């Protein structure tokens, strides 16, 4: 029988994580307001065209402060997702050995085990999803890459591939024996772009044998809504991009679905991908823009935040 005490524990972990996210952003904002414009710009000076942006000192300062808060908040949310999955992976119910014989009889027809099977694991996944809305779906994948189950079950029903061993998040988690944030993918079960966090699961017995990988998909739509709710001046835009030049979120509703748009040719993107922050005037599309950039350490990966502003 599933241990109901786990539900309240998961709830407390969720609330503590959300509190940490909010508190972290506030502390960072107040802590950074004491930094002078000159100090901030000195770090970015090699990347600035001073003749064009001297009049933009104040907006650059404000943008860097804002992007720092955004990136730290987003980092904390990713670590929150990782923490809740790591917590779940260490629960006895999740560590229990999967029903391999059942899976072998239903994998081809149900893309995993039946909906009413191994409810101890499924209930933990459902409880996380009910509290932690940043997570759109949870899966348990066998060591050979076969899908054991997915929640919500509709994801499992719609799955088009039964084996996910080819996914980089699965390979990375297996290779490192640690939590791993994969590249942005288009989900084979939902058809939408997701960021995936994978956590290896080991038995408590048998010298910690790997029994599977617990996977959580991050709802990028929430990031989109948050950016689009910002009160930006006309022509300004903020985008989240991963290190492979895949756009995660965009404050411009019209441009978010533009899959052909690329940022890797921008010096601002390249600088941020090297871990630098600052501002630069460069051509974005056909227009000269002031681009403020900031890197975000996303677990072992790197995401990039760009604030694009027209030059008047």
What domains can be seen in the chain, in order of their start residue?
94-221 (3.30.450.20)
**Confidence at residue 233, expressed as pLDDT on a 0 to 100 scale:** 86
Q: Determine the Cα–Cα distance for residues 248 and 145; give it in Å rounded to an integer.
A: 26
Tens digit of each residue's pLDDT (9 = 90 or more) over 79-101? 999 999 999 999 999 999 999 99
> Average pLDDT over the chain, rounded to whole?
82
- Tell me if the pTM is above 0.75: yes
Asked whether 144 and 166 are in contact (CB, 8 A), the reply is no
Top pLDDT among 17 and 27 is at: 17
For residues 124 and 3, give the distance between their C-alpha atoms in angstroms, rounded to a whole number.
Answer: 9
pLDDT above 70 covers a percentage of the chain that reads 78
**pLDDT at 228 exceeding the cut of 60:** yes
Closest to 180 measured CA to CA, from 171, 189, 191:
171
What residue spans of 246-309 are helical by DSSP H? 267-273
- pLDDT tens digit string along 102-116? 999 999 999 999 999
Neighbour tally for 123: CB within 10 Å: 17
CA dist 107 and 112 (Å) reads: 5
Share of the chain above pLDDT 90, in %: 55
């Amino acid at each position: 029988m599933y241990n109901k005490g786990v539900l309240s524990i998961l709830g407390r972990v969720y609330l503590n994580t959300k509190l940490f996210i909010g508190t972290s952003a506030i502390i960072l904002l107040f802590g950074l307001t004491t930094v002078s414009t000159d100090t901030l710009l000195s770090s970015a000076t090699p990347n600035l065209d001073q003749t064009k942006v001297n009049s933009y000192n104040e907006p650059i300062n404000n943008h860097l402060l804002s992007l720092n808060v955004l990136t730290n908040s987003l980092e904390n949310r990713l670590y929150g997702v990782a923490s809740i999955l790591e917590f779940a992976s260490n629960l006895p119910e999740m560590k229990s050995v999967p029903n391999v014989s059942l899976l072998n009889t239903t994998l081809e027809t149900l893309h995993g085990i039946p909906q009413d099977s191994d409810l101890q694991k499924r209930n933990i996944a459902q409880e996380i999803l009910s509290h932690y809305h940043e997570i759109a779906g949870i899966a348990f994948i066998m060591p050979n890459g076969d899908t054991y189950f997915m929640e919500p079950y509709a994801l499992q029903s719609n799955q088009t591939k039964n084996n996910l061993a080819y996914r980089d998040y699965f390979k990375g988690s297996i290779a490192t024996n640690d939590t791993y944030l994969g590249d942005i993918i288009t989900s084979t079960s939902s058809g939408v772009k997701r960021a995936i966090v994978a956590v290896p699961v080991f038995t408590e017995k048998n010298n910690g044998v790997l029994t599977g990988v617990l996977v959580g998909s991050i709802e990028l739509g929430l990031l989109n809504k948050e950016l689009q709710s910002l009160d930006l001046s006309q022509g300004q835009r903020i985008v989240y991009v991963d290190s492979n030049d895949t756009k995660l979120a965009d404050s411009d509703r019209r441009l978010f679905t533009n899959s052909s748009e690329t940022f890797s040719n921008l010096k601002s993107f390249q600088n941020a991908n090297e871990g630098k922050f600052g501002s630069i005037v460069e051509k974005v599309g056909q227009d000269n823009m002031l681009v403020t950039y900031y890197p975000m350490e996303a677990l072992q990966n790197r995401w990039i935040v760009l604030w694009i502003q027209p030059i008047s």
